[in-house]
Structure formats: structure tokens, C-alpha cells
């Protein structure tokens, strides 16, 4: 992800973020733990490839690992089904 003083590049589109504000989506396990977290510019569609998505790995009620969609922190994923993405 390339960045600048007033925003970042999401795919081929420059996204301007005001005061660090980001849209955020969460998905939970059946036990109520946050499994997937996603961030994008405010107003982004969940079906657009402009999301940074993180997977939290839990064991015995403790967060034991964090993995990123596509193995990177780029804003280039679609949020609509985070479990279908590859993480590392």
C-alpha cells in the first residue's frame, strides 16, 4: 500500500482519510470473539476490493495469532465473505 500525507492508495484509487477515520467491519466466532476485522475509507462498499482484512486466531479464550488477507496489509480485499480469503 502506498501512502501520502492526506491518504493512501487502495487498488488504483487514492483514498483520502480525514483525521484517521476509517469504516470498520467486524465478524465474530460463535463464542463471541472477534474473528475478522476489516477497514476501508468511509462510504466504501463491502463488495469493493478496497478493504484491509485481518483474521484473529483464538485458543483457550486468548488471542494467539493475527493473519492478514493475502498475507499483506493492503487495502485490496472484498469484505462480503472474509472467511473465503487466504490468510497468512
Instruction: Please write down the HEC assignment for all residues of 48-76.
Output: CCCEEEEEEEEECCEEEEEEEECCCCCCC
Confidence tier at 21 by pLDDT (50, 70, 90): confident
* 88 within domain boundaries: no
In a domain, 86, yes or no: no
Q: Is the pLDDT of residue 76 over 90?
A: yes
> How is residue 11 annotated by DSSP?
T
pLDDT band at 57 (very low <50, low <70, confident <90, very high): very high
pTM tops 0.75, yes or no: yes
Does residue 39 contact residue 24 with C-beta atoms inside 8 Å? yes
- DSSP, collapsed to helix, strand or coil, labels residue 84 as helix
Look at residue 75 and tell me if it is in a domain: yes
Residue 13 included in any domain: yes
Q: Which domain holds residue 23?
A: 3-81
Domain count, the chain: 1
Of the CA atoms within 13 Å of residue 77, those in its CB half-sphere come to 26
Average pLDDT of span 67-79: 96
pLDDT (mean) for 60-76: 96
Amino acid at each position: 500500500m502506498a501512502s501520502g500525507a492526506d491518504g493512501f492508495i487502495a487498488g488504483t484509487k487514492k483514498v483520502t482519510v480525514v483525521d484517521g477515520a476509517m469504516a470498520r467491519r467486524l465478524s465474530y466466532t460463535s463464542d463471541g470473539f472477534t474473528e475478522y476485522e476489516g477497514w476501508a475509507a468511509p462510504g466504501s462498499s463491502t463488495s469493493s476490493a478496497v478493504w484491509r482484512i485481518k483474521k484473529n486466531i483464538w485458543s483457550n479464550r486468548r488471542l494467539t495469532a493475527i493473519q492478514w488477507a493475502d498475507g499483506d496489509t493492503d487495502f485490496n480485499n472484498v469484505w462480503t465473505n472474509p472467511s473465503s480469503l487466504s490468510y497468512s
